[in-house]
Structure 1
Amino acid sequence: MRLVIIPLCVIVLFSCAAAYDPLDPNGNITIKWDVMSWTPDGYVAVVTMSNFQMFRHIPNPGWTLGWSWAKKEVIWTMVGAQTTEQGDCSKFKGNVPHCCKKTPTVVDLLPGVPYNQQYSNCCKGGVVSAWGQDPSSAVSAFQVSVGQAGTSNKTVKLPKNFTLLAPGPGYTCVTWNVTCTYSQFLARKNPSCCVSLSSFYNETITPCPTCACGCQNKKNCVKSDSKYLKTAGAHTPRRDNDALLQCTHHMCPIRVHWHVKLNYKDYWRVKIAITNFNYRMNYTLWTLAVQHPNLNNITQVFSFDYRPILPYESINDTGMFYGMKFYNDLLMEAGPSGNVQSEVLLRKDQDTFTFKQGWAFPRKVYFNGEECMLPPPDTYPFLPNAAPVKLLNLPSLIFFLLLLLSV
């Protein structure tokens, strides 16, 4: 018999509104608790976690799932996952439960565990793909045998107060529906990425804003030539995701650079580069979501995979870039190899296309589901169509006139 949790969104007072993302309005992680069979003192359930977020995946070190038991339940056995603590099981003699805690904390198993410990869609170290990137890898599941729980629909009480850390804060779970929605505001006070801009028609480069990701780590950052980077353990990732950042004016782990590279009669070309400034983090299964009105006419992406995202049926201005498998789907830690890049060819929409007023630059940029800070619009590289004629030599004047005629 299957007992599936029913929707109820009124338990949490703020999560539904705070976690709304206009580029992924239906994105969430849904957890199903399916009772598959009854046992002498409880039941066996399959817990399935489905990531329906289009461009936000769960990276290393993976998800951590917790809940509170409604009564005095214990976990006899688990397949495909394990709890981090056993708790006090001293009252049990002989057959001892896997976990006796009132509030168990569960983590996924690592790849390569023995076959008898595996369950379908388990054992990936808690890493779960974004739905828009790879739906087949956007699911994680495990089996749990629950005791002291009741043996019928009338006596069983399902868990409550679900929590999901993936791998840090930010997710709020609505009990009974067990739908976990992500809020960047809840996850951290500052952004975790920023955007810089440049163009072929202006030598000015607009950098990321100063302290775009906060400057609280300014005292602990390291320079690229620091001897500390050669010490043992300096690059070892930490469970709390604590970063070791390269010293920059923006102090962001990730910088996305958008360069308007070339202008053709019917097309224009953009170069996108993503740079990692975190010496402790390799970004696997990374995603880059971009909102720009001309993405509805994207023609070719040269070194990334790409798929459009349609948050609303009538609007096609958002797309997701991600790495090609076994080629650049791993963004290495800070250093010489800590960047990935591609070029994008777009067909001009003659009714709206222009280089004026920063139109060629993105409206929003997300890296791994986190919105990146863009520079203020008044600092964008401007189209030099107001330059005094007397300062231009004849070849330059002809060039700029041809450029303006093509805009």
Structure 2
Amino acid sequence: MATHIILTVLCISIFSLLFQSSVSQPAPITNSSLCNGILITYSYVTGKEIPPIISSADPTNQAYRFESNLTVLNNGPVELKNWRVFVGFDHGELLVSASNAVLANGTTLPANISGGTIFSGSPGFTDLKTAIETAGNIDQMRVVVDLVGTQFGVGPPNVPLPDNLVLANDGYSCPNLTTQGNHMSVCCVPDPNAKTNVSVNGAFSPLQFGDVTIMYDVTVTHESNYWAQVTITNNNSFGRLENWNLSWDWTEGEFISTMRGAYPKIVDSGDCIFGRQGQFYKDLDFSKVLSCETRPTIIDLPITKANDTILGLVPFCCRNGTILSPKMDVSKSKSSFLMQVYKMPPNLNKTELSPPINWNINSTIGPAYQCSQPIRVDPTLFPDPSGLPSYTSAVATWQVVCNTTHVESKKPNCCVSFSSFFNDSVVPCNTCACGCDRVDPRNEKNVCSATGPALLLPSEALLVPFENRTKLAETFARLKRREIPNPLPCGDNCGVSINWHVLSDYKKGWTARITLFNWDETDVVDWYAAVELNEAMPGFEEAYSMDGKVMSGEHNNTLFLQGLPGRNYLIAEKNGSNPKKDPRVPGSMQSIISFVKKKTPGINVPRGDGFPTKVYFNGEECSLPTILPSMGHRLNHVSAVFSCILLIFVLIMH
């Protein structure tokens, strides 16, 4: 009897465990009718070990080919526009090919997708209609993406499934991800608490905001070709593009015949002449075709071509690759060009229009950008060129959104030094603030420490190039009885340095002086700077020799500075009066800035509130010192002498 009871309890326990397991690990949704939203399914198909074969010696780094498919099915009542799905790859995956989809961040294949990536539909597969509007046509409701790539460390019979699967479109939630065997699935449903990406009229997606936006407007369309206008707009308050380069991938064999307002970096029609384009367009003069590259790179034209009747006469064109911050000049914050694009079969129809993909824009200064895939938006409305109070609509419009990315290896091009009226030591720019590429370790005379802290300087040392500061710095260190390291710290190697000097501090207010130094061999045109003062900005009163304005919105703690009319050039470094003995002289510009304390009660200027927390120059964040001038003996007479010297220096330079 006791044995029967024990067996009964044991059976009940096993059944209970199995039941709990089945509850916590529900099977994937195999019947699509069980999901009345967006059903996303990921299925691992097959895989095999590929060379080099190191599975016995180093199994975690053994490479395996994988083949899988991603399916997105719209079972909901609303069309899904510009679908985006995040797949949380977690096995060092390298994606080699993907059908009917592209990587949403614009990366070209093959690409490292370990850590996860977002897929979006390639042209023709971006939107998923509903069963209601298609009478259940599954081909219009669903997209299947076949994936081929390499993963590491998971060999058969184990299955390298992702660790997450979710719809990345706004307005949806994806609870209860389920996994079983080679499959995983999730049903995503509209979430009333999430923001939506549906436009008012429901025709296309709404415009998105980004640091840089690119509009691709088809303005005229024919059977075999169309004209497109490309407009690049800089929306970044601190950003600036210089010598921009724009590139993309054609997907259907398109090529560029004619351009106005910009030009290919490489003019070459060879790929067309020897390719299928030349076979199809037998009567086209390919000697006049500009680019047949699958991934062309486009550059801006010089200002002299703005009114050229063949290459120019496009609004916002021909600015030598310069796109300014909208805070500086809205009219110069965009660039535009036109191009004639020829299509290939089977897309020879006026309505067969698709934009290029995998866009990328870069600049010789400023941050790096990562761009989205093009998204169809409402057609752009252009003011009538005749001046009539009417607008002309584009045939079709796509938007590409690019945002800044942080690149660890990229060094700034500018740095900041701190000084004050209460300390005669200048806290210089950081050692190797802009890199140490100029250091030659093979030359013993040039050996320096790339990690040692910069030596505190006498104020007059700011006026000479770094290579001429050594004697001044060593003499000053001995005078102050400070240790002189061996080797000496390297210089900052920055093309532009900025000195922020707290000039005075009194009961009702305080003043600072900002001085810009250009150590490069080229003038800086249309310069601007932004100074972040977290505690002091409400008390800003006036910038006396620069155009200074407090920014609005989230940047209301930042002062935007630019040159006054006629003083927007920061001239290049030049020879001294006697080049044989005098050091080179930097271009410079300065201004006194005054603040009142009425709006900032409790502000402590010397203890840090009077020094910037961030400084930008021409869109790039500058390197800031890690220490502040200390509250030592008040040396007002020394500070006054330095102020006079610096003022005379700047006046002479101008």
| Residue 570 (structure 2) aligns with | 331
The answer to whether the 8 Å contact 2:224/2:350 transfers is no
The Cα shift of 1:153 comes to 7.5
**Identity within the alignment, %:** 28
Q: Distance in 2 between matches of 1:9 and 1:109?
A: 39
Q: Distance in 1 between matches of 2:406 and 2:552?
A: 21
Whether the 8 Å CA contact 1:57–1:285 is kept in 2: the answer is: no
Partner of 1:207: 428
CA distance in 2, matches of 1:166, 1:104: 16
1:160 is aligned to 2:408: no
Q: Check if 1:381 corresponds to 2:629.
A: yes
Q: Residue 293 of structure 2: which of 90, 98, 101 is its match?
A: 101
Alignment CA distance shift 1:80-1:38 (3 Å): same
Aligned AA (1:122): C
Q: Which runs of 4+ in 1 moved over 6 A?
A: 5-10
Structure 1 residues 110-163: Cα deviation after superposition (integer angstroms, max 9, x where no partner): 122223321111011111111111001111101111111535576222100111
Contact 1:64 1:164 in 2 (8 A): yes
Structure 1 residue 337, shift from structure 2 partner: 4.8
1:38 paired residue number: 221
The match for 1:146 is 341
Equivalent residue, structure 1, for 2:508? 266
- Equivalent residue for 2:618? 368
Give the deviation of 1:219 after TM superposition.
3.2
Q: Which has the higher helix share?
A: 2
* Partner Cα distance (1:254, 1:14) in 2: 38
Q: Report the residue type matching 2:530 in the other structure.
A: A
Structure 2 unpaired stretches of 5+: 1-80, 87-103, 106-115, 119-208, 375-398, 447-463, 468-488, 575-584, 638-654
Structure of greater relative contact order (alpha carbons < 8 Å, 6+ residues apart): 1
Give the conservation status (yes or no) of the 8 Å contact 1:27–1:54: no
> Offset of 1:357 from its aligned partner?
2.3
Match of 2:558 in 1: 318
Structure 2 counterpart of 1:54: 237
Query: Within 2, Cα distance between the matches of 1:164 and 1:225?
Result: 34
Specify the code of the residue in structure 1 equivalent to 2:352.
T
The residue number in structure 2 matching 1:342 is 591
1:63 aligned onto 2:244: yes
Deviation at 1:35, TM superposition (A): 0.8
SS of residue paired to 2:310? helix
The residue that corresponds to 1:284 in the other structure is 525
Q: State the AA in 2 paired with 1:112.
A: T
Alpha-carbon distance, 1:41 to partner:
0.3
Give, in whole Å, the separation in 1 of the partners of 2:83 and 2:264. 26
Retained in 1: the 8 A contact 2:500–2:514?
A: yes
Q: CA RMSD in A?
A: 3.1
Residue aligned with 1:115, SS: coil
Q: Please tell me whether residue 122 in structure 1 is matched to residue 317 in structure 2.
A: yes
Distance 1:167 1:225 in 2: 24
Asked whether the 8 Å contact 2:246–2:297 carries over to 1, the reply is yes
Matched residues in 2 for 1:191 and 1:106: separation? 26
Query: 2:502–2:513: 8 Å Cα contact kept in structure 1?
Result: yes
**Contact in 2 for aligned 1:55/1:133 (Cα 8 Å):** no
Shift of 1:224: 5.6
Match of 1:80 in 2: 261
Which runs of structure 2 are paired with 1:17-28 in the superposition (5 Å)?
Answer: 28=211
CA distance in 2, matches of 1:350, 1:225: 38
Deviates more, 1:256-265 or 1:135-144: 256-265
- 1:382 is matched by which residue type in structure 2? S
Kindly indicate whether the alpha-carbon contact (under 8 Å) linking 2:517 and 2:586 is maintained by their aligned counterparts in 1: no
User: Offset of 1:268 from its aligned partner?
Assistant: 1.0
In 2, distance between residues paired with 1:368 and 1:137?
A: 14
Task: Please report the TM-score for the alignment, with normalisation by the length of structure 2.
Answer: 0.49
**2 CA distance for matches of 1:248 and 1:264?**
37
TM superposition shift of 1:57: 1.4
Q: Pick closer, same or farther for the CA change 1:139–1:189 going to 2, 3 Å.
A: closer
Counterpart-to-counterpart distance in 2, 1:41 and 1:108: 27
1:276 offset after TM fit, Å? 1.6
Cα distance change, pair 380–110 in 1 and its aligned pair in 2 (3 A): same
Query: In structure 2, what is the Cα distance between the partners aligned to 1:78 and 1:285?
Result: 28
Cα 1:270–1:250 change in 2 (3 A) is: same
The one of 161, 185, 190 equivalent to 2:407 is: 185
For residues 249-287 of structure 1, what are the alpha-carbon distances to aligned partners after superposition, in whole Å with 9 as ceiling and x for unaligned?
Answer: 2222221110011233322111001112223x3222222
SS at match of 2:536: helix
2:293 and 2:569 map into 1 onto residues whose CA distance is: 38
In 2, Cα distance between equivalents of 1:33 and 1:40: 19
Write the letter of the residue equivalent to 2:333: A
> Which has the greater radius of gyration?
2
Q: 2:491 aligns with which of 232, 246, 249?
A: 249
In structure 1, what is the Cα distance between the partners aligned to 2:589 and 2:83? 41
Q: Deviations over 1:15-50 (max 9, x none)?
A: 9xxxxxxxxxx7611000011111230211111111
